[in-house]
Structure 1
Amino acid sequence: MALFLLSSPVCHAHGVHSKNTLDKIAETKTITLGYQDDAFPFSYIEGQRPTGYSIDICNKLVDAIKVKLKLKDLKVRWIKSSTASQFVLIKNHATDIMCIPGFYSELRHQKAEFSFPFFFSSTRFITRKNNHTDTIDDLAGHSVLVKSGTIYVEQIHTINRTNDLNLNIELDNNNKGAFQELQSGELPALISSTAILKGMIAMSPTPDEFEISDQTLSPPIPAGLLLPLDDSEFKNFLDNTLKTLITGKDFQKLYQRWFQSPIPPNAINLNIPMSAELKKLTTSTTLYAY
């Protein structure tokens, strides 16, 4: 299986977009996947290759597509994306699958399809311990940082408006840059999913200086892979493949590798048990309905 890493979208030949995704892949013998370099442990770069939990899941989907289409060789093109550009890449068919955790909302579902979920996470915020910030109300009148293009922008604007907190909501387009602003003391809080925040702290040279809020800003939200809209054949195939994976005997090992074991090369163990929502899916006999 050949692999290409690209930093910009691929322009397909005229007329290819009119085909459904599986036909396009069969014709070009190529699948184009989106990744992020700042979404540890889901999607990041290690050894000049995309790696992570959602990358592993995408690779298993690629294997299933290769079998379905009876392709001896299937080239994989990886396109670097961001949370801000992911919906554009999917809409323009520059990527076939976004291999990053796409946390669901009705508004986001208008822009892209969501696959069968493979993770659930609540939204929280991270602060420096010396800030003594326990709840979102403690941040009233202050600035908070959110990564652009994420579901957390939508959530914090709703919380701010509903609770009249007078928050100044600032956006950053990179998790690493956002954490640096928090680390330097430029901004008091950073909002994201619990898993992403735990990853940021674990990779910090001074993890003991930070804490994640006990308060959750959302219930557990399902995360799937972003897919093209209006391609039910592709979605149904991937959903059934993901369901088979998640209800299979090896899924527990895959989950433990990324969330309950030391992750090379720095032996980071996030110690995140499988959520009740995901556990339920591992024994479900039906497809998940958003």
Structure 2
Amino acid sequence: MLNKPLFYRSSYLAIALLLLISPLCRAYNIHSKPTLERIAETKTITLGYQDDAFPFSYIESQHPAGYSIDICNKIVDALKVKLKIKDLKVRWVKSSTASQFVLIKNHVTDMMCIPAFYSEARHQQAEFTLPFFFSSTRFITRKNNHTDTIHDLAGHSVLVKSGTIYVEQLHQLNKMNDLNLNIELDNNNNAAFHNIESGESPALISSYVLLKGMMTLAPNPDEFEISDEVFSQPIPAGLLLPLNDRDFKSFVDDTMKLILISKDFTNLYQHWFMSPIPPKAINLNIPMSTALKALISATSNDTN
């Protein structure tokens, strides 16, 4: 059995609730205009997206699409009302998991519309919105590898996407359990999964939801399996916002509260995780987690 690292024993729902009621207090950055003021002046909001994070953020018909993209669009609709700008322009900037923090820090984007899984180290680089998903860390492998646990991978090379929280998790597991893993980094989920398909690499470590998305998109999904073994409790995923901008974070979080407790959110979740997703009619069949239900309940109580 794996030794349980510290992050495994953490209460990520408690982190989510902390983000709900108490944004971090930081010194205001005098070198940049507040985000809301800048958006009002330019009548443009700049949003980041990924093309390899199905079903959260990917490209469909040459446009960003996905669960987190839909949530961002709802926030933009609320922003149009707040700023009284009906023709607010949306500019999309392609990002990666690793570059998203640089884009936010340098104000290249106003908000990242991709699933940013929370960690304390990441929270020092950017603000997180309220979570809209929770997912644990697992690995995917080909069934014919007969790999059931992380110990079966001991001494082998494993893939993990650069810039993710899974890199840190894997290093901790490797050290605490003396697995002698060779950790290889890739910067694209689709390319990493191709290495699993070809047999070049035995396993890819990521969040369960992203792994299931990759598997269901594969030509032969039955050839793969996702580990039952988990390396973390369900981790909250939110959108990234700039540091030191309390007004913008407050607006986005207030909007997120209304989104989470609305009937539209239930329909949105059902569309992306419990229904066939066009055009390939892929059904991920991932019921809403206990952690997300608890957050919605707490948000509803707080709002009322």
Class of the TM-score when normalised by the shorter of the 2 chains: over 0.9
1:150 paired to 2:164: yes
Is 1:233–2:247 an aligned residue pair? yes
Deviations 1:88-129 (A, max 9, x none): 000000000000000000011111110000000000000000
Q: Distance in 2 between matches of 1:198 and 1:175?
A: 12
1:247 and 2:247 aligned = no
Distance 1:140 1:60, change over 3 A: same
Give the distance between the partners of 2:96 and 2:118, measured in 1 at CA.
Answer: 16
CA-to-aligned-CA distance 1:55-112 (integer Å, 9 cap, x gap): 0000000001111111121010000000011000000000000000000000111111
Q: CA deviation at 1:162?
A: 1.1
Aligned with 1:90 (options 104, 108, 128): 104
Question: Which letter maps to 1:117?
Answer: P
What TM-score, normalized by structure 2, do the two folds share?
0.88
Q: Distance in 2 between matches of 1:86 and 1:17?
A: 20
| Aligned 8 A contact 1:118 1:224 in 2 | yes
Higher helix share: 2
Q: Is the 8 A contact 1:262 1:268 kept in 2?
A: yes
Cα distance per residue 1:243-281 (max 9 Å; x no partner)? 111011211100000000000000000000000011112
CA–CA distance in 1 between the matches of 2:113 and 2:42? Answer: 20
Cα displacement string for residues 128-170 of structure 1 (whole angstroms, at most 9, x for unaligned residues):
0011111111111101100111111111011111111110000
Q: How many residues align?
A: 274
Percent identity over the alignment is: 74
CA contact (8 A) 1:115 1:238 kept: yes
1:239 and 1:287 in contact (8 A); partners too: no
Q: In the alignment, which residue of structure 1 is the partner of 2:185? A: 171
Separation in structure 2 between the aligned mates of residue 232 and residue 170 of structure 1, nearest angstrom = 38
Give the counterpart letter for 1:183 in structure 2.
Answer: E
CA distance in 1, matches of 2:249, 2:229: 35
Query: Which residue is 2:196 aligned to?
Result: 182
Match of 1:217 in 2: 231
TM-score by length of 1: 0.92
RMSD: 1.5
* Aligned 8 A contact 1:243 1:287 in 2: no
Secondary structure of the corresponding residue to residue 84 of structure 2 = coil
Helix, strand or coil at the partner of 1:211:
strand
Could you tell me which of 119, 124, 127 is aligned with 1:113?
127
Equivalent-residue separation in structure 2 for 1:275 and 1:109 (angstroms) = 23
Distance of 1:179 and 1:196 partners within structure 2? 11
Structure of greater relative contact order (alpha carbons < 8 Å, 6+ residues apart): 2
Secondary structure class of the residue paired with 1:160: helix
Question: Residue 125 of structure 1 corresponds to which residue in structure 2?
Answer: 139
Partner of 2:210: 196
Q: Equivalents in 2 of 1:181, 1:123: separation in Å?
A: 19
Equivalent residue letter for 1:185: G
**Shift of residue 17, structure 1, vs aligned partner:** 5.9
SS at match of 1:41: coil
Letter in 2 for 1:261: S
**Cα separation, 2, equivalents of 1:121 and 1:222:** 7
Runs (4+) off by over 6 Å? none
Distance 1:287 1:19, change over 3 A: farther
Q: Distance in 1 between matches of 2:176 and 2:194?
A: 29
Equivalent residue runs for 1:129-140 within 5 Å = 129-140=143-154
CA distance in 2, matches of 1:162, 1:229: 33
